[in-house]
Amino acid sequence: MKRDRWLWIVIGVIFLLRLASGLVSEFWEEDELQIYLLGLKFYTTGLWPYFGPDVVYTQTQIPGALQGLLVGLPFYLWPIPEAPFLLLNLLTFPALCLLCRYVEKRVTGFPRWLLWIWILTLSWGINFGTRMVNPSYVLIFSIPFFLGFLEMMPIYQEKLLKPGLCAFLMGLALTCIMQLHLSWVLLVPFILAVVIFLLITDAFKWRYIFQFLAGTLIGLITLIPTLLLHGLSVYTNSAQNVSFQTDNYLNFFTILTRLMAFGSWDAPYMLSGKTWRMMVIQDYPWMEPLIYIMVGFCFILVAFFIISFFIRRKEVREWGWIKWIMAATVLLLYLNFFFSIKGPSPHTFFILFPLVVLYTFYCFQRMLKYSRILRTVMLIVIVVGIALHIGIGMFNYHHFSLYKEREKIEQAIDKKDYKVVGLRRADQWGKGY
């Protein structure tokens, strides 16, 4: 009982650290600022946000009001610059806790405290899950989607969620993510896979279709006004983002390693860009050795996750399912980027984060016979990783965070004029929201 109380205290501290990390994250960069302006425009003008995030490459916008509402509604509850960050973290953190609970139930034998702390402090879950970019909001819905997917597939004999609830969650997540990020198309093959395996195993029930549709209809509530006003042409415009890329055949290893990095502390990405990295080290020299330690751990972990695929584990019945689902996911991503106008940047497939986390813990599970070494290594990674995030947060606070010009945002809220902070891309394009 005391141990559980200690764990919940640590989890509470992690929530505060994640919130602080989001508040001092990069804010004045174009993508972050534009997502924030979506909600600020809704609050200051009262105009319904018929469209969401911008797709810069084709000067289009994702249809639906969900993104604008998720950022804008918190201002009505508490009109301060930090309000959207508070709601974002209050939504993503319980979703991550749900993922922790699910992995804990499925990957047996793992120390509970280590599992929870590892997942809640993974660098990708902090980079996208706390800061003002649309992939952060995707996390809220991708976790219940993949839990529903895993429970509806014939992987586990004992189910943790009822099939009807799973179908509902998958439908809801699909139409919500459709309004947040173009990566929603990656979910369609997973839905088709569920249907196929339900038919093969004679587990298909017609009510699942109605439960799935019920979820999609609830998610569509914030999209329907856009469709009524602009029609299906909004998706004709979005089709411009499909572009055949002949050179994608070179990207297989890049896609594989970047996907596996979701389950590690991805220091190379956190500190990408030699100039930026040198600026951080110049301000905080104590971070330099930690950076090299974490880069080494990242490469080792990614290699470990890849090698683990080829190791047979007859004692774990579901391992075969999990590893082949992951292999199919890598292939799906590889094929997808032949038709994507955007290259395989990790944020474009962050939607797959929950699936990768589960896979990596199955990889860790076979190392439990070396539990003392495993615990030590993971604890070192966690401590060094948190220290790096603190250092990056201190650097961002002074150079890139909203606190650099917080008074400008306060002025925009008081005057009800979002343009004090900046212009929406739509203002420059002369179309959209």
pLDDT tens per residue across span 306-328: 999 998 887 788 999 999 999 99
Q: CA 183 to CA 259: how far, in whole Å?
A: 14
User: pLDDT-based confidence at 117, cuts 50/70/90?
Assistant: very high
For the segment 62-100, what is each residue's pLDDT rounded down to a tens digit? 999 999 999 999 999 999 999 999 999 999 999 999 999
Q: CB of 61 within 8 A of CB of 53?
A: yes
Name the token pair of 419: 């343009």
Query: What is the arithmetic mean of pLDDT over 402-431?
Result: 92
Run of H or E residues at 52: strand 51-55
Query: What is the arithmetic mean of pLDDT over 233-246?
Result: 65
User: pLDDT-based confidence at 3, cuts 50/70/90?
Assistant: low
User: pLDDT-based confidence at 282, cuts 50/70/90?
Assistant: confident
Helices (H), 178-318: 187-200, 206-220, 224-230, 233-238, 252-260, 267-270, 274-283, 287-308
- Residue 280's pLDDT is what? 77
Residue 317, exposed/middle/buried by CB under 10 A (0-12, 13-18, 19+)?
Answer: exposed
Q: CB of 184 within 8 A of CB of 57?
A: no
CB count within 10 Å of CB 352 equals 23
Amino acid identity of 102? Answer: Y
User: pLDDT-based confidence at 5, cuts 50/70/90?
Assistant: confident
- Residue 239's pLDDT is what? 58
CB count within 10 Å of CB 310 equals 7
Residue 286, exposed/middle/buried by CB under 10 A (0-12, 13-18, 19+)?
Answer: exposed
Per-position b or e across 42-72, b if 16+ CB within 10 A of its CB: bbbeeeebbbbbbbeeebbbbbbbbbbbbbb
pLDDT at 274 over 60: no
- Residue 241's pLDDT is what? 62
Which residue has better confidence, 433 or 174? Answer: 174
Of 234-238, 410-414, 427-431, the poorest mean pLDDT is in: 234-238
Helices (H), 263-370: 267-270, 274-283, 287-308, 319-336, 353-365
Q: CB of 262 within 8 A of CB of 349?
A: no
pLDDT at 219 over 60: yes
- Residue 377's pLDDT is what? 84
Amino acid identity of 15? Answer: F
